[in-house]
Amino acid sequence: MDWLSLLCEFLLGSVGTWYLCNLSDWGLHTLSHIHTRLPLLQTLHSVHMAHHKESYPVGKLLKDPPYSGQKGEFVFAPLVFCIWFLCYLCLPLRFALLVVIESTLFSYVSNYLHQHYHLKGSWLEKYKWFQDRRNRHYYHHHHLRKNMSLGGLDPVFDKLFGTYNHSKDKKWM
pLDDT tens digits along 21-31: 999 999 989 99
Half-sphere exposure (Cβ direction) of 18: Cα atoms closer than 13 Å: 10
pLDDT tens digits along 44-54: 899 888 888 88
Closest CA to 10 of 104, 98, 107, 106: 98
- Residue 78's pLDDT is 86
All residue ranges of the chain with pLDDT < 50 are none
Specify which residues 119 forms β-bridges with: 63
- Residue 172's pLDDT is 55
- Residue 159's pLDDT is 94
What 3 state SS string does the chain have? CCHHHHHHHHHHHHHHHHHHHHHHHHHHHHHCCCCCCCHHHHHHHHHHHHHHHHHCCCCCCCECCCCCCCCHHHHHHHHHHHHHHHHHHHCCHHHHHHHHHHHHHHHHHHHHHHHHHCECCCHHHHCHHHHHHHHHHHHHHHCCCCCCCCCCCCCHHHHHHCCCCCCCCHHHC
Length reported for the chain: 173
